[in-house]
Chains A and B, each alone.
Chain A
Amino acid sequence: MTKIGFLQLNSCSGCMFAVLGSAIFPELLKSADIQVFRLISDIQSEDHLDVVFVEGGVTCNEDAELLRRLWTEGTKIIALGSCAVLGGIMSQSPNMHIDPVNKFVDPHSSLPGCPPPRRLLGNLLLSAIDGSEFELPEKNVCWECPFAQDQTYEIEITSLHSTHSPKSCFLREGILCLGPITRAGCEAHCIKGSTPCDGCMGVLNGNLPAAIANLFSVLKVSETIREYAELAFRYQKPELKLKH
């Protein structure tokens, strides 16, 4: 049996509760040897794990050291959720520092999302049981969006918030949506629920400032909504990657 662990760092436990709600969870309980999962079990052995799912961002040396030790021992580290993959919403804190898992170790795979999309989470958990490869989609949210055929960059963006069910692409209605630069996999769940994408799956090439710059270079953004940084960088710090 594969020895599996579920670790919680600085987080809300939302990704772990998504695991409990996954269709594959009952199978996981019986087909894997769960060595650590604080939310549901007293057994806490972090030694000799084959796979560890990590939820939350890193805020202290102890967590960073634990990740490095597991990685050195050959444990496959899987970053789960926007906090572990991108830093998450706590990245906006002016008072504390939070880092994603990949700042300290090279994860075997990553699944962002707040929460991680149900279908992809099921595939990821399955990969831990049967050793199959897990891959993220290499397309953007528009690829899954029912309104993508109406997309245009010609309309002036005048709002950061929607107040009604969209009849067409949010960008056509003058509402900012990060779908064009955000990785697919969520099946455009928020957009189908009348809420524009705020980028919880992260950007496709990993370079958020560049993706934001590209998007805003083609959008016509109204003078009235210049303060869009909270939306653009909700899940990730705008760290510039400069080449020397």
Chain B
Amino acid sequence: MTRIEGDSALIVTREKDRITNVIYNMPTARDFKGVIIGQQVKDLPKIVPRICGICPVAHRIGAVKAIESASEVSIPPVAELLRELALLGEIIRSHTYSVFFSTLPDIMYLTDQISRQDILGIDRTQPRLLPIAIKLYNCAETLITATAGNTNMAFNLIPGGLMQNITITQQQELIQQLHATLSGIKWTKEYYGWLLNEIEGEIQKYTLPQPRYISCFDTHKNRFYGTDQIEFISEDGSQSKFSCAEFSEFLVEQDLPEAPTKIIYAESNKRLNNLLAGPHARLAALQTKSTKSKESLRNIPNLFYSGLLRIDEIEFAITNAIKLLETEWQTGEDVSVALEPQISIGASAVEAPRGTLLYRININDVGRIEDIDIRVPTELNASAITLIVKKVMTACLDLGWSNDQILERAKMAVRCFDPCVSCATHTDIRFRD
């Protein structure tokens, strides 16, 4: 697989005119669980951002929220606000990569816009796009650096709150820089929508049958920072909630064959369980609260609309960051509370760019990590990935396409999920044998 984060491969078994098996293989083990167990609790937030280079802020927030939950402390409102701003920066950066470097080349290729399926091919045909992508990416990194400390470690976000607040100068500069990106993302949205209309027949193959959505997006405050209640929307539209402290009871892990990662199923039905986390699930959660977004409901659950939803989320993140900085952010040095880890269990949920990220930690009597369970969105999406790939390949096979053509479409389907292989291979390799 190319144009996704990390090292992965599709292994497909074809018997004559049938696709009999699909494995989304992620072969590289990364033993973060082994590294973490035994570490001091306060070191946990310093280690977990290294799980992933594209969503380190979400991992850092997952860890500090779990520690705060174990210690039963509440952080100052300004600390939560800056954490949300850091997450918004991460949403912009990650989705910019996914849209411009991963899925746009596929869609432009399908509409015969480009011959070379990457950002260079895009630049030769539509030179307006690369500068927009670079501007968004840089703006996102500035936002993350100002609020979280740096882009890869987010060291400003500590258990108990923040190390330091931003300054008024930083606030003004961020607002200015965020405003400057808005016209570009609005233009991209129109262009992307036009491209999708051009391939309406093609994208019908990518509709996921009866998905179930999972999200912790805070629909009251409109925040990716999340709530402790995980929302589960089943295939018939019914909603249920469970506490993030109980996630291991509701979400069952199963080893992915021949890979150091896992598929996560909802406990209710393990056999056919196309769980979907990420932009589609966040929109579904919002739509259960509002009747205003019914227009875009028709887009769900077609995977080719994921890119458009990501563009929507980039625009939302920019406008919401401006709003939070202008109206809710406050100066002051009261940005943290004292916290001393003790023997306990803590859990947390946060919306990473690809979906719900769950943490559960056990702290022992000497303030060290006794056990840790991290469930990442790519593992939540894993069963849906294999299901849609099989569906797309079967449809292409019925059209009499060549193996190369069929595989190309299968890879496009995987890219629609924007999988994060680094996150999905963080697991404890001791269980592999």
Q: Whole-angstrom distance between the alpha carbons of A197 and B150 in the complex? A: 13
Is B422 in contact with A190, judged by CB distance below 8 angstroms? no
Please tell me which stretch of A33-41, A68-76, A142-150, A213-221 contacts chain B, meaning at least 4 of its Cβ atoms lie within 8 angstroms of it.
A33-41
List 25 A-B residue pairs with CB atoms under 8 Å apart, sorted by A's residue number: A12-B30, A14-B50, A14-B53, A14-B56, A17-B54, A17-B93, A38-B2, A38-B3, A38-B7, A39-B101, A89-B47, A90-B30, A90-B35, A114-B50, A114-B153, A115-B150, A160-B42, A161-B42, A165-B164, A190-B155, A193-B163, A194-B149, A195-B149, A195-B156, A234-B46
Within 8 A of A (CB), among B23-61: 28-32, 34-35, 39-40, 42-43, 46-47, 50-54, 56
B binding-site residues for A, Cβ under 8 Å = 2-7, 28-32, 34-35, 39-40, 42-43, 46-47, 50-54, 56, 93, 97, 101, 117-120, 123, 130-131, 134, 137-138, 141, 149-153, 155-156, 158, 160, 163-164, 336, 338, 422, 428-430
Q: A10-B30, A17-B54, A34-B120 are in contact. List 4 more A-B contacts (CB 8 A).
A: A39-B3, A90-B31, A114-B50, A115-B53
Closest to A10 in B: B28
Residues of chain B with a CB closer than 8 A to A164's CB:
163
Residues of chain A with a CB closer than 8 A to B34's CB:
93-96
A26 adjacent to chain B (CB < 8 Å)? yes
Among B6, B53, B97, B118, residue most surrounded by chain A Cβ atoms (within 10 Å): B53
Residues of chain B with a CB closer than 8 A to A95's CB:
31, 34, 428-430
Q: Whole-angstrom distance between the alpha carbons of A193 and B29 in the complex? A: 32
Is A40 in contact with B101, judged by CB distance below 8 angstroms? yes
Is A195 in contact with B35, judged by CB distance below 8 angstroms? no
A25 adjacent to chain B (CB < 8 Å)? yes
Q: Whole-angstrom distance between the alpha carbons of A78 and B293 in the complex? A: 50
A163 adjacent to chain B (CB < 8 Å)? yes
Residues of chain A with a CB closer than 8 A to B152's CB:
14, 18, 114-115
Q: Whole-angstrom distance between the alpha carbons of A8 and B134 in the complex? A: 22
Residues of chain B with a CB closer than 8 A to A21's CB:
137-138, 141, 151
Is A26 in contact with B130, judged by CB distance below 8 angstroms? yes
In order of increasing CB-CB distance, the 8 nearest A-B pairs are: A14-B53, A13-B53, A93-B31, A12-B53, A194-B163, A193-B149, A41-B118, A195-B155
Within 8 A of B (CB), among A68-92: 88-90, 92
Within 8 A of B (CB), among A138-186: 160-165
Within 8 A of B (CB), among A11-27: 11-18, 20-21, 25-26
Is A89 in contact with B53, judged by CB distance below 8 angstroms? no
Question: Which size class do A's interface residues fall under?
Answer: 35 or more
Is B150 in contact with A189, judged by CB distance below 8 angstroms? yes
Chain B nearest Cβ from A192, distance in angstroms: 9
Is B40 in contact with A96, judged by CB distance below 8 angstroms? no
Q: A12-B52, A40-B3, A40-B119 are in contact. Are A194 and B35 (CB under 8 A)?
A: no
Q: Whole-angstrom distance between the alpha carbons of A51 and B276 in the complex? A: 41
Q: Whole-angstrom distance between the alpha carbons of A222 and B156 in the complex? A: 26
Residues of chain B with a CB closer than 8 A to A127's CB:
none
Closest to B158 in A: A163
Q: A12-B422, A17-B53, A42-B3 are in contact. Are A92 and B35 (CB under 8 A)?
A: yes
Q: A25-B134, A161-B42, A189-B150 are in contact. Are A16 and B28 (CB under 8 A)?
A: no
Q: Whole-angstrom distance between the alpha carbons of A165 and B29 in the complex? A: 37
Q: Whole-angstrom distance between the alpha carbons of A231 and B47 in the complex? A: 11
Q: Whole-angstrom distance between the alpha carbons of A230 and B138 in the complex? A: 33
